Structure 1
């Protein structure tokens, strides 16, 4: 997998690690990898750090059409499909505010507010042959994702970061981190 291919002036890439370094608490879009049009694609993103000032963990991980504005966010309204890292809400093209699906619940049905935390690996399995996208946490399937028939290529891997200090590191394959 190639590294970060597009990101704005508020982010800095060091190898496979991307950090939001400036710009206030506004979402900023970044993409990685080659354009995907068909087949099954898998990758992981290491949740490297939360925001430096307030520990905010809200970031978005998934796929988007190529060429969206990297100086903006909220691209789930423009063809992107994401999972939100703090509460596992699914955000996808065609969904209006309030229609997003919150999937992070515990055994008694209460919302889980700390779904992904620093140190976790967020896995993505994109199947463009059937149009589905599924997520995993630390190598274990979560059952969260977008159903077959939802996503059409071409797309690229994408994230949105919200706060200064947030960092994600690309992991091309399932990788055990010490």
Structure 2
């Protein structure tokens, strides 16, 4: 909430999916400046964040001038490793350029840390077992689709193991 949230509208997003993979677009408040202008001049990455989720755990964020990639690796219940990379158009040749990219990387990881803290808080309440079921809200398409893909993948793996063992 402290880093990039003020740049974006709350719960204004477009979602779609291709099989188990997903794409979403988070609109920045600056998108309103495009109203009444020629669409031929629009650069969508300047006014929002296109994100691609490649199942099961790769996230690609397209920024106006670079790309951020994060990979999520679950290693145990309650424990996940996150790795990442930043793709930039050229190797920084000056200290100023290095500082620019270092700042972008820091903003990315700080934002993820904020998101992870929120998710960890939610997960800890789920782990308490007070609720028998979880209902996704109208803005949670992506989470529901992810869980559908996980369930389908686990069912397919179980069916494959059963066939391999003659069941």
TM-score of the two chains, using structure 2 as the length reference: 0.28
Which has the larger share of helix? 2
TM-score of the two chains, using structure 1 as the length reference: 0.27
Larger-Rg structure: 2
**Structure number with higher relative contact order (C-alpha < 8 Å, ≥ 6 residues apart):** 1
